[in-house]
């Protein structure tokens, strides 16, 4: 072994204690141990290599995890220990108990619409309204909640994506080209996998998008509608990062109305509200445009 070989092939592994016994013997022969014996230059290089390791280690000192992050992590572990959320009681019963009276007539219409819609008759039938036409109003905001819940119930058991990709980027692009918001929820950190995206058309010609996320205990469906002027539905039970939270028909909902009221986004899940809050706190936004 000469100096060049040692430096090129063995020096780093020597400093890291990664030489095989055979290599160690060959290296020891080259390095030797004194002024008369072995290669002092390579011994110095080995010392230098070890110094470099120490310098790197010193530079990248371990950072102490902030207490707030430790606490959050422990709380999340506690939550996992508690196990799956209790099953909700029968939806039909809850619906009767919790539906705000003022929304009741709308729900029947919504049910009819969704049934027809799910059967595949409606999409494509009313192409008179351009998806880009903001002047065409879609369903009222309160009805959007009904729609979202019914869609959730439909898609929880059978969801057929129209965007054939499991990637947020592909789905965002497809939504964008349908002139729908392409800012996507990413629930990966909350333990939800992306199932897929679906673009349909409402009877009024406006597009609607559905994005389904599948988690351990429940799903989250993100439904988005387009309209001219959505108003914020009444009855919110809370707020997180500017999104409004609703407990509605036995489901937990998170509603976002876009600044100009042109879009409404409803997250629907069967998990309890505190878990939806938690998921949202872990979620991040994904967008093709930064």
Please give the residue ranges that form the binding site for another protein (CB under 8 A).
3-4, 7-9, 11-13, 16-18, 41-42, 44-45, 48-49, 51-53, 55-66, 69-70, 72-73, 76-77, 80-81, 83, 168-169, 186, 188-189, 191, 282, 284, 286-290
* Minimum CB distance to another protein, residue 259 (Å): 22
**In this complex, which beta carbon is closest to another protein, that of residue 5 or of residue 134?**
5
* Minimum CB distance to another protein, residue 32 (Å): 15
**In this complex, which beta carbon is closest to another protein, that of residue 91 or of residue 183?**
183
* Minimum CB distance to another protein, residue 189 (Å): 4
- SS3 readout for 126-160: CCCCCCCCCCCCCCCHHHHHHHHHHHHHHHHHCCC
* Minimum CB distance to another protein, residue 227 (Å): 28
Cβ neighbour number for residue 266 with a 10 Å cutoff: 28
**In this complex, which beta carbon is closest to another protein, that of residue 15 or of residue 254?**
15
* Minimum CB distance to another protein, residue 274 (Å): 16
**In this complex, which beta carbon is closest to another protein, that of residue 68 or of residue 259?**
68
Q: Are 266 and 258 in contact (CB under 8 A)?
A: no
* Minimum CB distance to another protein, residue 179 (Å): 20
Cα dist from 232 to 137, 241, 261, 264, whole Å: 15, 16, 9, 9
Cα dist from 197 to 89, 110, 184, 237, 256, whole Å: 29, 21, 10, 28, 19
**In this complex, which beta carbon is closest to another protein, that of residue 63 or of residue 158?**
63
* Minimum CB distance to another protein, residue 217 (Å): 12
**What are the b/e assignments for 90-123, b being 16+ CB within 10 Å?**
eeeebbeeebeeebeebbeebeebbeebbeeebb
Long-range contacts of 152-155, Cβ-Cβ distance < 8 Å, separation of 24 or more: 152/219, 152/221, 152/223, 152/251, 152/268, 152/269, 152/270, 153/91, 154/114, 154/118, 155/198, 155/210, 155/212, 155/219, 155/221
**In this complex, which beta carbon is closest to another protein, that of residue 76 or of residue 236?**
76
**In this complex, which beta carbon is closest to another protein, that of residue 125 or of residue 169?**
169
């Amino acid at each position: 072994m000469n100096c060049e070989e040692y430096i090129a092939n063995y020096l780093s592994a020597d400093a890291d204690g990664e030489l095989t016994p055979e290599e160690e013997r060959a290296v020891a022969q080259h390095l030797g141990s004194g002024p008369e014996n072995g290669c002092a230059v390579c011994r110095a290089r080995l010392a230098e290599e070890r110094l470099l390791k120490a310098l790197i280690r010193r530079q990248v000192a371990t950072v102490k995890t902030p207490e707030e992050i430790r606490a959050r992590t422990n709380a999340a572990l506690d939550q996992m220990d508690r196990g799956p959320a209790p099953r909700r009681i029968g939806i039909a019963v809850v619906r009767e108990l919790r539906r705000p009276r003022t929304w009741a007539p709308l729900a029947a219409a919504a049910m009819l619409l969704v049934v027809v819609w799910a059967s595949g008759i409606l999409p494509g039938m009313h192409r008179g309204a351009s998806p880009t036409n903001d002047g065409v109003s879609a369903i009222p905001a309160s009805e959007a909640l009904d729609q979202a819940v019914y869609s959730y119930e439909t898609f929880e058991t059978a969801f057929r994506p129209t965007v054939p990709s499991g990637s947020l980027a592909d789905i965002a692009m497809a939504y964008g080209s349908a002139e729908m918001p392409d800012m996507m929820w990413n629930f990966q950190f909350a333990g939800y996998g992306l199932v897929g995206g679906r673009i349909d058309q409402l009877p009024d010609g406006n597009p609607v998008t559905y994005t389904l996320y599948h988690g351990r205990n429940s799903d989250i469906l993100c439904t988005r509608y387009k309209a001219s002027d959505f108003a914020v539905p009444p009855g919110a039970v809370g707020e997180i990062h500017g999104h409004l939270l609703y407990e509605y028909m036995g489901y937990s909902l998170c509603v976002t109305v876009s600044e100009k009221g042109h879009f409404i986004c409803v997250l629907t899940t069967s998990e309890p509200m505190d878990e939806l809050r938690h998921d949202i706190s872990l979620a991040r936004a994904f967008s093709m445009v930064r």
